Structure 1
């Protein structure tokens, strides 16, 4: 059982500057996550920041976890993705729906960095809509047999176990824990991504993989309504803070450059056009931060509005991240267009956040439905405004 360590922003900043930032370029250029980075994240308790103490966690709340995500995400999106997968997708799925045996087996191992999990949902022909999954399972006496292909699985190439979502012949969706090493399971790395290059993305193949009944997560039929919905909601919350991180980093980069770069005898930042860009970015970053904080506060209060507010935060913050990165490149000019520059890397990383854990278009639909169901005038009032 670990000792609970309070959230300390200065301590996290020191850790990020000494461990995460130096690894960011390696993650991006070499396409791998250094084992020592994973070990450091684990030894500092960050891979289990939200876990209960009994499983080696720090028991940090939603806001503390969000701020941790931002700090790490500013320095390295790949390291932030590792945090998101282990805590928000895999960790929360196990905490909410795992049996006592499953929790005891995997959560302390994640906390210590001895085992990494991966959330195997997406497929070659199914991403945003899990109902289109083709991976199947069937019961065979005291075991389940899984067959199918998963794609775009973060840390799929190095994970020690997978939470695999599959359907039976009647379309009933369930979730299973599948350990690496089981006969019929293989992984193939996917390279040449525009971002998240250090996340060991892979295709996962399951060819009649046999898993015991006790590897079922939750219960049969709970794969979508329970496990997937919970995992994606927690993932969206983490991604919202990740997008805020990129937007804030882009703002820091453009502001620092604008103060140092001399043009026409003065600072670049004093030109009206650059000052306008920075002013817009400040406004958008502050708004994104307010939305992330609101989502976190509602999650802590277990308010039912937390779900939609998380979607709003993810949608707005990811759009803000892309625009902030574009604006950073605009301010830096040719220096921002160079491959390998911080601004260029931020743009590549930001774009991915508009796609993962539900695309921006999916979030728009969810938010639009919420708006139609929540706002508007009573029918007798409409005539007053027409």
Structure 2
């Protein structure tokens, strides 16, 4: 069997699983503000928690394109379940695969993929978000051990995680550590009443002089926490979030199309009104464009293209903006019902906003893309400024 055939079969299985196991629980997950352990276990049994990770560790080994499609299928049905994939599988699993030692990978990847352990990426802090180089969590060396002290905030899965990749600084030397929940000094506090991500188990994570060993707990090398670990992890995360934007936008479009074909006003189905058709037409176009960017980024990642990272940034920026726009339009098409939690577009509208903030705000993405454009499209051979004087 060719790999593409195998991956298509996996996606068909995922589609069935989403329909039977995730979608029926989406409202309950939102209301209870937690991911059912039973659902996590079922996903683990299917290998979904290691969808993009190697088979040797128990993963499904999907390539970037199919992993993106996998993320979209999950994200259409439930954003919190998609967050599990983004954080546990991409930010933690892929980062461990890329930078972990052989012993670290053999120890942790099978446990993460099987669901025995849940992983979280502890970077953000009360006063540090996009300015990741200035994390306030500190570490100190004590012989052959390290002591970590500090507070992380807005950590997805933080309240249920067994394993944290923690970014800490020692006089500007930024290092990534693998820290286990059951270590003395580790505690978490759930964050509730959020606009979105209510079932993502957001938490504050406090490290009160946590003692860890050098050999088993540094991820990568000391001092490589930002340039290597953070940069790589956020790149993995951005790719997942790019597809999450497509997922929310597509779900919102599906909902507004279904509603507009049933809802009547002035004796006509509302999809017959030109302004509604304009909204739907623009939404279809934007989604197709966003998905195309994601597919291109996926192909470039699969081929290890040197510009895959910037293409991923572009895809994340665009799809997150599109998700916000289309979910807002879906609420508008639904009218008053769009503001009711009885209809899914209300939740989609809230969830979409977060995508413009996590894994780098839209404003940060604009700066990155602008800097790329200023280098990429500067043609020294053409004098655009004085060209008119020669006509």
**What's the TM-score once normalised by structure 2's chain length?**
0.96
Q: Report what 2:162 is aligned to.
A: 160
The 5-angstrom pairing of residues 6-21 of structure 1 reads 6-8=7-9, 9-21=11-23
Distance 1:43 1:385, change over 3 A: farther
Q: How far off its partner does 1:10 sit?
A: 2.6
Give the structure 1 partner of residue 340 of structure 2: 338
Cα deviation code 1:282-307 (max 9, x no counterpart)? 11001001100010010001001111
Q: Deviations over 1:122-157 (max 9, x none)?
A: 000101111121101111111110000000001111
Partner of 1:125: 127
User: Which runs of structure 2 are paired with 1:75-114 in the superposition (5 Å)?
Assistant: 75-114=77-116
Task: Deviation per CA, 1:326-380: give whole Å up to 9, x if none.
Answer: 0001111111111342011001100000000000000000000011111144365
Return the alpha-carbon distance in structure 1 between the equivalents of residues 363 and 272 of structure 2.
37
CA distance in 1, matches of 2:49, 2:244: 15
Do structure 1's residue 384 and structure 2's residue 391 form an aligned pair?
no
Tell me the alpha carbon deviations over residues 28-67 of structure 1, each in whole angstroms, 9 at most, x when there is no partner. 1111010011111111111101111111011110001000
Alignment partners' CA distance in 1, 2:66 and 2:310: 20
Aligned length, in residue pairs = 383
Q: TM-score, normalised by structure 1?
A: 0.97
Task: Give, in angstroms, the shift of residue 263 of structure 1.
Answer: 2.3
SS in structure 1 of the partner of residue 287 of structure 2:
helix
- Report the counterpart of residue 185 of structure 1 in structure 2: 186
CA distance in 1 between counterparts of 2:173 and 2:42 reads 40
DSSP-derived class of the 1:195 partner: coil
Aligned counterpart in structure 2 of residue 253 of structure 1, from 252, 255, 269: 255
Q: Structure 1, residues 44-100: CA drift from partner, whole Å, max 9, x if none?
A: 111101111111011110001000000000000000000011211001111011111
For residues 1-386 of structure 1, the aligned pairs below 5 Å read: 6-8=7-9, 9-169=11-171, 171-213=172-214, 214-378=216-380, 380-382=382-384, 383-385=386-388
Structure 1 pair 385–309 and aligned structure 2 pair: CA distance change class (3 A): farther
Report the secondary structure of 2:383's partner residue: helix
CA distance in 1, matches of 2:253, 2:192: 29
SS in 1 for 2:175: strand
Structure 1 residues 333, 385: CA separation in 2 closer, same or farther (over 3 Å shift)?
Answer: farther
Give me the whole-angstrom Cα distance separating, in 2, the residues matched to 1:385 and 1:148.
Answer: 59
RMSD in angstroms over aligned alpha carbons? 1.4
**Which secondary structure does the structure 2 equivalent of 1:328 belong to?**
helix
**How many angstroms apart in 1 are the aligned matches of 2:388 and 2:195?**
49
Structure 2: gaps of 5 or more residues: none
Give the CA deviation at 1:172: 0.5
CA contact (8 A) 2:130 2:360 kept: yes
Paired residues of 2:7 and 2:66 also in contact (CA < 8 A): no
Aligned counterparts of 1:340 and 1:205: Cα–Cα separation in 2: 37
Contact 1:70/1:245 (<8 A) preserved: yes
2: CA distance, partners of 1:377 / 1:140 = 54
- How far 1:245 sits from its partner (Å)? 0.3
